[in-house]
Amino acid sequence: MVMALTFTFRNRTVFYREHLSVMYSPLAHAISIALVELIYCIGLATFNLAVFYWLNGLSSTTDAWFFYWIGLSVMLATVSYFSHMLAYATPSLQIGILALSSWTTFFFVASGFLIDGKTMAKGWVWMYWISPFHYMLEITLMAQYNDQTRLVVDALTKKTIPINQVVVQFFNGAFSYDNIGRDFGILVAIIVFLQLVIMRCMAKVNHTSR
């Protein structure tokens, strides 16, 4: 994320200059950056799948590895576009990095892993629903353990139950395999929203100091 932010900041001055010369269109420039970043994210996710996924002995079912790959690709694109947005919305790289680290921390804490969505304080539930990490986590875990019926001992009740039920109970029923389609839809909606904000910032915001 920081790398995407830093790289975009380096190119921001060039965009400002060419945009003032009526050489760069915000729409065309935003789309070109988004496409290049998406290709990079898909390649990175593919490499991660080929190395990390199989070396760690994760599920070999088609649903599990496919949802892991496509989910990671979309998630990487989402956080990269969030970095692009901050690059054009904030006045300096230092402020951009500060905002990025702050929001990333909030997104992780509200992802549903540390505090599940059903027990989170009502005043913070909105963070749970806008956190991209929430949707990536649900996609990955539910696809990974949905069909895993190996029996394990529940540490709290000392009862023997299927491992997929352990995962569901760990998240207090907030995560479900049936939500995967919805999760992908929301991640795509977040991406569209970020791209609209990026184009708006490109067209209306100029942080160049004279």
Query: DSSP string covering 23-62, please?
Result: ---HHHHHHHHHHHHHHHHHHHHHHHIIIIIHHTT---SH
Q: How far is CA 110 from the centre of its chain?
A: 13
pTM as predicted? 0.88
Tell me the torsion sign for CA atoms 21, 24, 26, 27. Answer: positive
Is 80 exceeded by the pLDDT of residue 12?
A: yes
Beta carbons of 90 and 6 less than 8 angstroms apart: no
Note the pLDDT of residue 170: 85
pLDDT tens profile 125-161: 999 999 999 999 999 999 999 888 888 887 777 888 8
CA dihedral 173, 179, 182, 186 (to 10 degrees): 50
Tokens of 90: 């904030």
Note the pLDDT of residue 135: 95
Beta carbons of 75 and 99 less than 8 angstroms apart: no
Is 80 exceeded by the pLDDT of residue 179?
A: yes
What is the rounded average pLDDT for all residues in the chain? 89
pLDDT tens profile 19-72: 777 777 888 888 999 999 999 999 999 999 999 898 888 888 999 999 999 999
Is 60 exceeded by the pLDDT of residue 210?
A: no
Note the pLDDT of residue 172: 87
What is the number of other CB atoms lying within 10 angstroms of the CB of residue 32?
A: 12
Least confident of 67-81, 122-136, 195-209: 195-209
pLDDT-above-70 percentage for the chain: 99
Helices and strands (H, E) in the chain, number of each type: 9, 2
